[in-house]
Structure 1
Amino acid sequence: MSLRLVVTGTDTGIGKTVFAAGLTAALGASYWKPVQSGLEEETDSETVARLALLPAERVIPEAWRLKTPASPHLAAELDGVTIDPDALNPPDVAGPLVIEGAGGLLVPLTRSVLTIDVFARWGLPVVLVARTGLGTINHTLLSIEALRARRIPIAGVAFVGEAHPDNPLVIAEFSGAAVLGRLPVLHELTPQRLADAFAASFDLSSLKR
């Protein structure tokens, strides 16, 4: 079976979607965002398609598109729809697949199901995206504990932001999780700049084994 990876984050707004775009392009993968909350601005699927230069057939349509930019459980309620977590299953595609979750691991999809519950059912390896700066040690170690408590395989931790060398070192020492690399802040974010920075920042050989 082709490589399938889940990309999740320690928080929202930390660069997870930009990382997912870089990863999708580097792997020559298809991309799927199961649940999208907020449609007024560019969606995550649109951002990844633009930054990874993906043809339409490699962007899998979202299972749920919710208007309100809020936690999926609340956005669905405000939109008058019901998310069925059991209906969320990775699509069959030719080649690798990158799946991007909504926000962090404990984001509710419904009043009774968290995002991490769906990841546990899938059993796919997870790449955890974390910020580099203050607060990342606590958030990242807690996220790793949550993944391990549910026996979800961890492919590694990817950092996004300015260099803070001690933080990834401490996280690796306490957790034993692999640090995949660090994507720097790209003030001019174009497909080529992202591809170049990603190639210079990450060694994906461990993900492909």
Structure 2
Amino acid sequence: MSARILFVTGTNTEVGKTVATAAVASAALRGGARVAVLKPGQTGLAAGEPGDVDDVRRLAADPAAGAPAGRLTTRELARYPEPLAPNTAARRAGLPPVSPDEVAAEVAALAASHELVLVEGAGGLLVHYDDEGRTLADQARAVRRAGLAAEVLLVASAGLGTLNIVALTAEALRARELPLAGVVVGSWPQRPGLAERCNLADLPRSADAPLLGALPAHAGGAPDFAALAVASLAPELGGDWDAAAFARTHRPYAL
């Protein structure tokens, strides 16, 4: 059986992309899968500092939850010290950028020995990785050109303003013939307002793709992250979260 490959992107920075990646990895590990997580370009950290893949490993590889670290592989292809878009950070540091072909080669190697490969992007879908303007979308297209069935998972914010960015991202994916697996809310507030509640119905319409989960705010600090991951992700991502039931629970009083 071929590996499932998911490119994880966000509607913006700081929307919960790394925690969502860790949740998907955790649910898959709990189900017995071998999981690989790839970060093509890490920015804003010096050499030796823990990055996004380290956060994923800390959250997802919990032996007490039946997810031994031996079934989780993490890779980082490039690191740039300044917290900027990867192409700008690479140029300012005098370091080479990451090319789509490099990413495709690494994904193919990981897919040969894992059931799930997660590729976590930097920022949103069309953030540039090099001065030629190539993006996470170009990396996903390179993987598909190599004959691997890559999909995209979009992590979105919950509140006002998210629908436009979700719609634009979905339109960009369709223009590039990249399948959108679905949308995950990266940080569902403890006390959701009217916009958040209405967005549960509107997000899948804007994306033309299913809502596949809603991670609670501060999920990364949960004492049992593995259980939280399963409870917050739909069956398509290895969990038991029910989008319809969640929407009914948070239904606005009037629509």
Same fold (TM over 0.5): yes
Q: Tell me if 1:166 matches 2:198.
A: yes
Give the unaligned 5+ runs of structure 1. Answer: none
- Are 2:19 and 2:220, in contact at CA under 8 Å, matched by a contact in 1? no
Tell me, in whole angstroms, the C-alpha distance in 2 between the residues paired with 1:3 and 1:49: 19
RMSD after superposition: 2.2
The residue matched to 2:95 in structure 1 has which SS? coil
Return closer, same or farther for 1:59/1:94 CA change in 2, 3 Å cut-off: closer
Offset at residue 135 of structure 1 (A): 0.8
**Number of matched pairs:** 207
What is the CA distance between 1:150 and its match in structure 2? 0.4
Q: In structure 1, what residue type is equivalent to 2:125?
A: L
Helix, strand or coil at the partner of 1:116 = helix
Of the candidates 69, 94, 102, which is equivalent to residue 87 of structure 1? 102
Residue 57 of structure 1: CA displacement?
Answer: 7.0
Match of 2:18 in 1: 17
Report the CA distance between 1:187 and its aligned residue: 6.4
Q: Residue 177 of structure 2 is aligned with which of 143, 151, 163?
A: 151
- Deviation for aligned residue 1:180: 0.5
**Structure 1 runs (4+) greater than 4 angstroms displaced:** none
Secondary structure of 1:50's aligned partner: helix
SS class of match (1:47): helix
How many Å separate the matches in 1 of 2:228 and 2:24? 11
Q: Which amino acid aligns with 1:88?
A: V
| CA apart distance, 1:191 | 5.9
Counterpart for residue 141 of structure 2: 120
- For the structure 1 residues 187 and 30, does the alpha-carbon distance in structure 2 shift closer, same or farther, using more than 3 Å as the test? closer
Q: Any conservation in 2 of the 1:37–1:69 contact (CA below 8 Å)? A: yes
Deviations 1:57-108 (A, max 9, x none): 7333211111222110011111111214122221323322111111110100
1:191 & 1:31 partners in 2: Cα distance?
22
Q: Within 2, Cα distance between the matches of 1:15 and 1:44? A: 11
Please give the TM-score of this superposition, normalised by the length of structure 2.
0.74
Higher-helix-fraction structure: 2
Alignment CA distance shift 1:57-1:189 (3 Å): same
Within 2, Cα distance between the matches of 1:118 and 1:184?
30
Return the alpha-carbon distance in structure 1 between the equivalents of residues 39 and 219 of structure 2: 25
Distance in 2 (CA, whole Å) between partners of 1:187 and 1:102 is 20
| Paired position in structure 2 for 1:67 | 81
- 1:17·1:47 contact (CA, 8 Å) conserved in 2? yes
User: Normalising to structure 1: TM-score of the pair?
Assistant: 0.89
Asked if structure 2 preserves the Cα contact closer than 8 Å seen for 1:45 and 1:59, the reply is: no
Shift of 1:159: 0.7
Larger radius of gyration: 2
What is the CA-CA distance between 1:168 and the residue it aligns to? Answer: 2.9
- Unmatched tracts of structure 2, length 5 or more: 30-34, 62-67, 145-149, 240-255
Deviations 1:150-202 (A, max 9, x none): 0101110101222422113112224421111211113671461x222221121
Distance 1:65 1:174, change over 3 A: closer
2:236 maps to 205
Partner of 1:51: 59
